[in-house]
Amino acid sequence: MLTVNIKGNLSPLHRGLIALRSQQVPFAVSLALNTLARGVAADERELIGQTFDSPTPFTQNAYRVEVATKSRPVAIVAAKDIQAQYLTPYVAGGPRFLGTKKGMLAPRGVALNRYGNLTRGKLAALKGKPGVFIGPVKTRNGKIINGVWQRPANGMRRDGSRGTKGRTGLRLLIQFEDTTPAPKRLPFEQRARAYIDRHARAAFEDALRMAIATARR
């Protein structure tokens, strides 16, 4: 939970508020909080663009705003459920999110989309291709690599004959790797606090002026 104390010199507006008998104060507070919350969400989107190489629009639009009301003077900025699962480790630390996958999918010999990721359904599509299999392979140096492999069109088998099931010329398409700790490089709270420190006073003063201007006389 992000808790921020907002301080500012609002004295120029105190006389007007007293004249209003503070009837418009809850309205003004909700206006200011929502202005700040939307600003924080936009600033966090910019932070994602600065932090990750070519983030997808789905990731860039990770943050939602729950607006404040006159009766509930709280505005919330938070990541949406799905994006929060894989962004949280970059904020708080911990292993990268795997979801239902058994390991990290590390592309080795397949084309990626313009965001540098595997295209949706790529793994399923590879499974159905002839000459492609999924499993561990022991390399010549004794290392076992688990992943998606493609057999050569016509490889040399171990018995000296030729065929498509020989290990000679195997091509690693996707490697399955253990999850690793995500670097804490997405300072969500620090960025939000800095934004609020810069903009809180102006947001509240603008909101109070609007409240005074629209008050019933």
Q: Which of 82-91, 106-115, 155-164 has the lowest mean pLDDT?
A: 155-164
Q: ∠ at Cα 118 (90, 60), nearest 5°?
A: 45
Which pairs count as long-range contacts for 1-6, CB under 8 Å and 24+ apart, including other chains? 2/77, 2/189, 2/192, 2/193, 4/192, 4/193, 4/196, 6/196, 6/200, 6/204
Specify the pTM: 0.67
- Which tens digits make up the pLDDT trace of 116-173? 667 777 777 777 788 888 778 887 888 888 878 888 776 555 566 655 554 457 888 8
For residues 15 and 54, is the Cβ–Cβ distance under 8 A?
no
- 3-class DSSP assignment, residue 43: helix
User: Tell me, what's the pLDDT at 16?
Assistant: 57
Q: With a cut of 80, say whether residue 79 has pLDDT above it.
A: yes
Which helix (H) or strand (E) element contains residue 191? helix 188-213
Q: Could you give the percent of the chain with pLDDT greater than 70?
A: 76
Indicate the pLDDT class of residue 73, thresholds 50, 70 and 90: confident
Which residue matches tokens 């949406």? 80
Phi-psi map region of 66: left, alpha, beta (phi>0 left; psi -120 to 50 alpha): beta
Q: With a cut of 70, say whether residue 92 has pLDDT above it.
A: yes
- pLDDT, greater one: 172 or 194: 194
Q: ∠ at Cα 212 (206, 214), nearest 5°?
A: 100
For residues 62 and 206, is the Cβ–Cβ distance under 8 A?
no
Q: Which of 31-35, 56-60, 75-79, 159-163 has the lowest mean pLDDT?
A: 159-163
Beta bridge partners of 86: none
Residue of 188, 158, 172, 205 lying closest to 35 (CA atoms): 205
Q: Could you give the percent of the chain with pLDDT greater than 90?
A: 22
- 3-class DSSP assignment, residue 90: helix
